[in-house]
Homo-oligomer: A and B are copies of this chain.
Amino acid sequence: MTTDRLRELLKEKGLKVTPQRIVIFEAVVNLKNHPAVENIIEYIKIKHPNISIGTVYKVLDSFVENGLLKKVKSENDIMRYDAVLHHHHHLYCATTDRIEDFEDPNLDKLINDYFRKKKIKSFNIKNITLQITGEFNNK
């Protein structure tokens, strides 16, 4: 995601293009591992020491509302953010709090086909996401 593209998206959504929004969005994109607000603040503090914490929360919230970011809930009660917008799953390591993306269209097809045949009574499925917990090997 380029900064110019972000400017376009903000305009499309009727959101003003502010330096804070640019910086916060870039932080989420650059920080891998689905950063928490704390990580984002730490990251932007270096170059932009006077962005208020409340602003970070508000900006992230509006990004999520407008589909520029997605929320990722973690094991503990802190929210994390994801700039990868297309459907994907997550690999969770409970011991390190590391979260990595996992995509597999074949698996998605398998599951979707399964539920197309065997519907759940009295429930309309909107989305199915796998929470794959375990341990990362190396690295």
Contacts and interface: CB of A to CB of B under 8 A. Distances in A.
Interface of A: 73, 75, 77-79, 91, 100, 102, 104, 106-107, 110-111, 114, 118, 120, 122-139
A interface, over-half SS: strand
Which of A120, A125, A138, A139 has the largest count of B CB atoms less than 10 A from its CB?
A120
A136 B123 contact: yes
Which of A78, A106, A123, A133 has the largest count of B CB atoms less than 10 A from its CB?
A123
B111 A136 contact: no
Nearest to A122: B137
A129 B130 contact: yes
A75 B138 CA distance: 31
B75 A77 contact: no
B110 A123 contact: no
A123 B110 CA distance: 21
In the complex, the 10 A-B pairs of residues with the closest C-beta atoms, listed nearest first: A126-B134, A77-B77, A122-B137, A125-B134, A129-B131, A124-B135, A124-B134, A127-B133, A126-B133, A128-B132
Contact of A128 (B73, B122, B126, B130): B130
